[in-house]
Structure 1
Amino acid sequence: MLLKIAIKDFQRNKIVTIGLFLFIMLSALLVASASHIIMELSGSLNHLLLKSNAPHFVQMHQGPINHTVIQRFVSANPIVKKQQTVEMLRIDGSNITLGNQSKTELNSVMDIGFVRQNPSFDFLLNLENEVIQLSEGEIAVPIYYRQQNHLSIGDPVTITAGTRQSTFTIVDFVRDVQMNPALVSSKRFVVSDRDYTVLKRFFKDSEYLIEFQLTDRSKLSEFRSAYEASALPAKGPTVDYALFKTLNALTDGVIALVIILASILLMIIALLCLRFTMIAALEEDYRELGVMKAIGIPQSEIRAIYMAKYIVMAASSSLLGYLASLAVIRIFTANISLYLGTASPSLLQYLVPVLAVAIVFGAVVLFCKLMLRRLNGITAVEALRSGTAGAAKLNTAMIPLSRRKWMNVNIFLGIKDVVGRFKMYGLLLFILMICTFIIIVPVNLLHTLQSPKFITYMGIGQSHIRIDLQQSGSTERKFESMLRTLEKDQDIAKFSPLVTSRFKVLGSDGVWESLNVESGDFSIFPLSYIEGTAPEKSNEIALSDLNARDLDKGLGEELLLAAGGTQLKMTVSGIYQDITNGGRTAKARLPYDPKTAMWYVVAIDVKPDVEVSAKVDQYAKLFYPAKITHLDSYLSQTLGSMIAQLRLATLLIIAISLAISVLITSLFLKMLLAKDASQISILRSIGFSLGDIRRQYMVRMLLIAGLGITLGTIAAGTLGQGVVRVIGSMMGASKIQFVIQPMTVYGWLPLVFVLVVGVTTFVSTMSIKKSGIAVQMSE
């Protein structure tokens, strides 16, 4: 009997049942996909760290190096397990041609280094996560370039030094635990020992990676303090194990987070959607429920009739959603597989997505049980007498129809009904608001990442061109010569020279720590400040957000800097956002010492009539071997992978949210029409046409849709902005401001939503005539 009733119910409500089935399936699909991403990301990252035997602490250094001093430090420090110093040969992109392209890597934002395979740890791996071993004439290229330049095994790599050309054959692609992510602006190419020796004859610019593995990783902070307190080489940034994990997980972690947030919101909507379905079913079956109670069928069996259908639906849709996730998950984890590899799956990796889907199923079943408590309030006499659960009455409260003056009758009645029964309409309003919210937040985040303004969150002022000079023997002379040339260039509107040096700063715990301070005029190309302003006086300093937290310094407070035996008392003038270099930098207007300078930068804006790309090419030749970057392409090269993943997730969320809007609007109208059956008959009896009644429902739905879209947009700009800021604060940008495209957010997205609701309402109200609701009163 239960099976027959379930089949009959399905035949009677095919569209609604199929819609709800698909909706629960999509909820299960998303939650399973997000779980898959997190588990695979965690497993693959840990596998990469293990196979590469990742270092725990790395000090980058440019300039001469004393290996004996380093060895003495290692011998005196018992927590050091292993140490190696890796030489990286820096070759300018203008000397490198990848694949069969005709152009060099002149305009690449990446610093290119050539290395040999490491002997002890920090192994450079191939796509099988095996240690790369090369023969003469072979080269392994970073995975970044495989994606960026569409390279394949067997493609050539040509290196030019004057009139000499060396051609290597790509035999592997490099997984580099330190420099894998596109966010890291340095990349390591691997060649054989013999080829490296040959290249070193023609390229003299070297950088050293002083790497350590510790006996106890929990003592990393203690080791860092010991290193910084020593006189060891330190002309360059430091990175550690925690930062490797963060950077490697960042791109796919953000995508997983977006999907998780979407799946949570969709789960809430799924339950509310189920509520509409069950209320509509109880409304339609009210008289039948009275008959069943009258003939003595126990309430537990009546409940079982409804539960049977929803348990079968929830189980089958959850299962199908899980199976669908297995089919589509490769789309989301392709980037993980490429950059991190694939670890042998553990039992937990299979179990967590299954448990996540089981939660979806359990939530549906539990919610059904809660909803069916409504059966307790139904009596046989009332159900048989009225035939509906509290049939709607004409709303005569508030402003009467006779008081209207200029407004159309159908519009007036539509608005009046929404105001009079706002509690009932509020649920639909809430769901449409969430649908709007979960679309607009990813769209705004995508626009923000693509905006040129996002560069200011990376501790860089927004300009047209950026010139980088790395430290070498003659860098100071080249820098001064460059500035003289730029001063005479009539195409330049403004430029700002900046020099980064290493200082010591007294930490909150009384220990002296290293601090990279960039010196220059920061009012020319301002940063994104959380509070305060750029330093204007020589005793003022601006700190990055994470540095301010680490040093426990706020606006107007003082800190102590030390350089060259002199201590300087500095006042914090501002706190800015920076997600680069571990988010720990500082800006000041201090004179710099060429002996301690680590790198030189010039930010440039050209005049409106000057073509930026042509100027970049000119400066690349004029200031060789400086790195010339067109900042419009900087974000696409560093954040391109994250943007592509986010765009895919955003398109999926938009499609699902629009499908939800269709389903929830149709379910709500089905319930409303069943509840309003007698009211519709009264309206027909006093002369309203079917067209008039449909227009009234159209007004109601469009009013609710408009309010939902408005509130959802406001929530996205406030609550959604807050969520993004919480995530950004972990990386050093706690006040990311959404970059909004008005035509998208306030134009076509709301228009699409309104059209979807309008068309769904029109189609759903066609059932008034077909179901004979309009003549129910006369019957």
Structure 2
Amino acid sequence: MLLKIVKRDFQRNKMITLGLFIFIMLSSLLTASSAHVVMELTHSLDNLLVKSNAPHFVQMHAGPIDNEAIANFAAANSIVKEQQTVEMLSLDGSQVTLGSSMKTEANSVMDIGFVKQNLQFDFLLNLDNEIIQVSEGEIAVPIYYMKQKNLHVGDQVSLSKGQFQTSFTIVDFVRDVQMNPSIVSSKRFVVSDADFTALKSEFREIEYLIEFQLTDLSKLSEFHNAYQASNLPNKGPAIDLPLLKTLNSLTDGVIAVVILLVSLLLILIAILCLRFTMLATIEEDYREIGVMKAIGIAQPDIKKIYLAKYFVLAILAAIGGYLLSLIAMKWFTANISLYLGAAPNSVLQHAVPLLAVSLIVGIVVLFCRLVLRRFNRITAVDALRTGASPAPPSSTSILSLSKRRLLPVNVFLGLKDVYGRFKMFGILLFVILVGLLIIIVPVNFMHTLQSPQFISYMGVGQSDIRIDLQQTANVDQRFEKMIASLEEDNDVVKLSPLVTSRFKVLGSDGAWESINVESGDFSIFPLSYMDGASPATAGEIALSDLNAKDLNKQVGDTVQLLIGDKEQNLTVSGIYQDITNGGRTAKARLPYNEESVLWYVVALDVKPGVSVRDKMDQYAEAFYPAKITHLEDYLAQTLGNTIKQLKLVVLLAIVISIAIIALITSLFLKMLLAKDAAQLTVMRSIGFKNSDIRIQYLGRILLVSAIGILIGILTTGTIGQGLVKALGSFMGASNIQLVVQPVTAYLIIPAAVMTIVAITTFVTTLSMNKSRIAEQIGK
């Protein structure tokens, strides 16, 4: 009997059941996919670290080097397991041409380095996570360029410098544990030992990677401080294993979090969808429930009839969602497989998504049991007498039909009903609000990443052009000549020379640590500060968000720096956000430390009407081998991969959200029509037409939708902003402000939602027919 009742229920509500099945399946699909991404990311990254034998600490250095001093330091330090110093030839982008392109990499934001394969650790891997070996005349190119330039095995890489020209054949692509992510602006090309020696005689700019592996990773911070406290080479950024893990997991980690948030919102809406379905079914079966109670069927058995349907539905939908996730995960994890490699399969990679899907089934069953408590209020007498649940008392005396003035009767009656039963309509309002959030928050986040304003989260002010000088011979003299030349350029409106050097700072634990401080006038191209302002005097310093947290400092606190041989107290003037150099930088108006200069930068704006591209070409020739960057290009090249993946998630969120809103609106109306069946009969009997009743329902739903959309737009600035801040905190920018495109967020998306709701309402209310009314009259 139970099976017959369940089968009949499926046949009677095929579309509703199918819709509910689809959304539980989508919830399972996204939840399982998110779990797949997290597990794949974790396992692939761990596998890459093992296969590459990743370094635990790396100090980059440009300039002369004392290998003997480094070896003595390593030998004297008991926690050093291995040490190697890697030579990397630094080439200017204008000297490199990739593939069939006729253009050089002069405008690339990436620093190009040529290396040979390492012998002890920090191995450069191919796409099969095997150690790359190349012969003379061959080259392995970073994966970043494979994607950006659509390169293939057999393509050429050409190098030129003056009269010297050579080319290499691409035989493989490099998976580099240090420099894989696009947000890392350095890339390593691998050539043979013989070719490296030959290139070294032509391209003399060498940067060193001083790498260490430790026996005890718990002492990594202690080792870091010990190295910085020594007089060993340190003219460059230092990175450690935790930072390597963060950088490699950043892009896909953000995408996984966004998918998970969408899936959680989808689960919430799916159970609301389930609630509407169950309530509509109970309303339709109210008399039958009364009959079953009257003939003596126990209430727990009646509940089992209804629970069985949704339990079977949830199980089948969850299985379907999980199976689809096995297909979809190739889509979501394609970037992980490319940049990190596919990790060997493990039990956890399948167990965790299965557990996540099982949790959804558990939530559905638990929610069904909560809804079915409504049976406790149904009595056989009331069900047989009325055939419908009693309407809740409403207080609508304020909205009297006799007092209406401007509104048409049908519109007024619809609004009056919303006011009288707002608690019930509030559920639909909540669904539309959440559905809108699912669309607007990812869209705004994508616009934020694409906005030129995002450059302020990289620790630099907005300018037309940025010129970088790395450590080379006579770099200080070249910097002075460049400044003089730019000051005489009539096309330049304003410029700001900045020099980054390394100082010692007293840490929160009382030990001296190294800190990179950028010196210059920061009022010319100001940053957006989380708190405070830029340093205005030589006695002030601004700290990046992560540095402020590490040093446990706030605006107004004192920071102790070692400047020369003297200790000097500086007041923290402001705290800013920075996602470059590990998010740990500082800015001050100090005389820079000439002995530990890391790099020189000039930011400048040109006059309106002057071609930025032409100026970049001019400066590239005049200040060679300086790196000339258009800041918008920097964003596109470093965050392009993240934005591309986010677009996919945004499109998925839009499609799912619109479908959810349409289905929930339809289910809500079906429940409402079943509940209002007797009332509709009365209205028809006193002369209301179906078109009149349809206008009333349309007015109700559109009013609720408008309120939901308005609250959703306002909520985007709070909940949405909070989610984006949480994501940004992983990158060192915990106060990212959403950039909103008003036309898209406040006009196009709300209009699309209102249109979907209106069409759904119109189509659903077409189901009102005379047979149903005659049936009610008969009752």
TM-score range with shorter-chain normalisation? over 0.9
Aligned to 1:697: 697
Secondary structure of the residue aligned to 2:768 is helix
Shift of 1:324: 0.9
Aligned to 2:217: 217
1:606/1:770 CA distance change after superposition, 3 Å: farther
1:697/1:392 CA distance change after superposition, 3 Å: farther
Aligned to 1:715: 715
Q: In structure 2, what is the Cα distance between the partners aligned to 1:722 and 1:301? A: 46
1:763/1:395 CA distance change after superposition, 3 Å: farther
Aligned to 1:322: 322
Aligned to 2:578: 578
Aligned to 1:729: 729
1:759/1:774 CA distance change after superposition, 3 Å: farther
Matched AA of 2:281: A
Shift of 1:476: 1.0
The alignment status of 1:402 with 2:402, answered yes or no, reads yes
Alignment check: 8 A CA contact 1:395 1:417 kept: no
Q: In structure 2, what is the Cα distance between the partners aligned to 1:415 and 1:432? A: 18
Q: In structure 2, what is the Cα distance between the partners aligned to 1:402 and 1:336? A: 66
Range that drifts further, 396-405 or 241-250: 396-405
The alignment status of 1:98 with 2:98, answered yes or no, reads yes
Shift of 1:607: 1.4
Alignment check: 8 A CA contact 2:394 2:420 kept: no
The alignment status of 1:108 with 2:108, answered yes or no, reads yes
The alignment status of 1:71 with 2:97, answered yes or no, reads no
Shift of 1:569: 1.9
Q: Percent identity, aligned pairs only?
A: 63
Give per-residue Cα distances to partners, 1:164-223, cap 9 Å, x unaligned.
Answer: 211101111001100000000000001000000000111111111110000000100110
Aligned to 2:332: 332
Shift of 1:270: 1.0
Matched AA of 1:64: P
Matched AA of 1:201: S
Q: In structure 2, what is the Cα distance between the partners aligned to 1:594 and 1:107? A: 29
Aligned to 2:164: 164
Which ranges of structure 1 fall in alignment gaps of 5 or more residues?
Answer: none
Q: In structure 1, what is the Cα distance between the partners aligned to 2:778 and 2:398? A: 29
Aligned to 1:365: 365
Matched AA of 1:44: S
Shift of 1:726: 2.4
Alignment check: 8 A CA contact 1:680 1:774 kept: no
Give per-residue Cα distances to partners, 1:400-441, cap 9 Å, x unaligned.
Answer: 110111122122111111111111111111111111112111
Give per-residue Cα distances to partners, 1:263-294, cap 9 Å, x unaligned.
Answer: 11111111111111000000000011111222
TM-score, normalised with respect to structure 1: 0.98
Q: In structure 2, what is the Cα distance between the partners aligned to 1:547 and 1:304? A: 59
Aligned to 2:387: 387
Aligned to 1:421: 421
Shift of 1:776: 2.7
Across the aligned residues of Structure 1 and Structure 2, the Cα RMSD in angstroms comes to 1.3
Superposed counterparts of 1:3-14, under 5 Å: 3-14=3-14
Alignment check: 8 A CA contact 2:503 2:593 kept: no
Shift of 1:536: 1.1
Shift of 1:122: 0.4
Matched AA of 1:210: I
The alignment status of 1:264 with 2:256, answered yes or no, reads no
Matched AA of 1:175: R
Matched AA of 1:58: V
Size of the aligned set, in residue pairs, is 779
Shift of 1:730: 3.2
Alignment check: 8 A CA contact 2:291 2:384 kept: yes
1:770/1:34 CA distance change after superposition, 3 Å: farther
Matched AA of 2:212: F
Range that drifts further, 373-382 or 217-226: 373-382
Aligned to 1:87: 87
Aligned to 1:284: 284
Give per-residue Cα distances to partners, 1:151-174, cap 9 Å, x unaligned.
Answer: 011110001121221110111100
Give per-residue Cα distances to partners, 1:452-501, cap 9 Å, x unaligned.
Answer: 00000010111111110001121111111111111111211211111101
Aligned to 1:597: 597
Superposed counterparts of 1:225-304, under 5 Å: 225-304=225-304
Matched AA of 1:145: Y
Matched AA of 2:145: Y
Aligned to 2:447: 447
1:430/1:394 CA distance change after superposition, 3 Å: closer
Aligned to 2:756: 756
Alignment check: 8 A CA contact 1:392 1:678 kept: no
Q: In structure 1, what is the Cα distance between the partners aligned to 2:103 and 2:675? A: 70
Alignment check: 8 A CA contact 2:394 2:421 kept: no
Shift of 1:685: 2.1
The alignment status of 1:620 with 2:620, answered yes or no, reads yes
Aligned to 1:660: 660
Secondary structure of the residue aligned to 1:595 is helix
Aligned to 2:670: 670
Aligned to 1:464: 464
Q: In structure 1, what is the Cα distance between the partners aligned to 2:191 and 2:586? A: 37
Which ranges of structure 2 fall in alignment gaps of 5 or more residues?
Answer: none
Q: In structure 2, what is the Cα distance between the partners aligned to 1:289 and 1:226? A: 77
Alignment check: 8 A CA contact 1:464 1:630 kept: yes
Secondary structure of the residue aligned to 2:375 is helix
Secondary structure of the residue aligned to 1:603 is strand
Secondary structure of the residue aligned to 2:579 is coil
Alignment check: 8 A CA contact 1:541 1:570 kept: yes
Shift of 1:391: 4.3
Alignment check: 8 A CA contact 1:397 1:420 kept: no
Q: In structure 2, what is the Cα distance between the partners aligned to 1:279 and 1:716? A: 31
Secondary structure of the residue aligned to 2:157 is strand
Alignment check: 8 A CA contact 2:502 2:593 kept: no
Aligned to 2:206: 206
Q: In structure 1, what is the Cα distance between the partners aligned to 2:427 and 2:436? A: 14
The alignment status of 1:508 with 2:508, answered yes or no, reads yes
Superposed counterparts of 1:8-47, under 5 Å: 8-47=8-47
Alignment check: 8 A CA contact 2:234 2:596 kept: no
Q: In structure 2, what is the Cα distance between the partners aligned to 1:752 and 1:158? A: 51
Q: In structure 1, what is the Cα distance between the partners aligned to 2:147 and 2:253? A: 19
The alignment status of 1:743 with 2:743, answered yes or no, reads yes
Shift of 1:725: 1.1
Q: In structure 1, what is the Cα distance between the partners aligned to 2:770 and 2:99? A: 66
Q: In structure 2, what is the Cα distance between the partners aligned to 1:393 and 1:376? A: 19
Superposed counterparts of 1:627-642, under 5 Å: 627-642=627-642
Give per-residue Cα distances to partners, 1:356-380, cap 9 Å, x unaligned.
Answer: 1111111111211222122222121
Aligned to 2:49: 49
Matched AA of 1:106: A
Alignment check: 8 A CA contact 2:125 2:175 kept: yes
1:678/1:393 CA distance change after superposition, 3 Å: farther
Shift of 1:608: 1.5
Shift of 1:731: 2.5
Aligned to 1:376: 376
Q: In structure 2, what is the Cα distance between the partners aligned to 1:700 and 1:382? A: 29
Q: In structure 2, what is the Cα distance between the partners aligned to 1:275 and 1:100? A: 60
Alignment check: 8 A CA contact 1:503 1:515 kept: yes
Secondary structure of the residue aligned to 1:480 is helix
Alignment check: 8 A CA contact 1:393 1:679 kept: no
Shift of 1:661: 0.3
Secondary structure of the residue aligned to 1:359 is helix
Shift of 1:395: 6.8
Q: In structure 2, what is the Cα distance between the partners aligned to 1:325 and 1:641? A: 22
Give per-residue Cα distances to partners, 1:231-281, cap 9 Å, x unaligned.
Answer: 111111100000000000000000000111111111111111111100000
Q: In structure 1, what is the Cα distance between the partners aligned to 2:252 and 2:133? A: 29
1:550/1:396 CA distance change after superposition, 3 Å: closer
Q: In structure 2, what is the Cα distance between the partners aligned to 1:397 and 1:312? A: 46
Alignment check: 8 A CA contact 2:544 2:583 kept: yes
Aligned to 2:58: 58
TM-score, normalised with respect to structure 2: 0.98
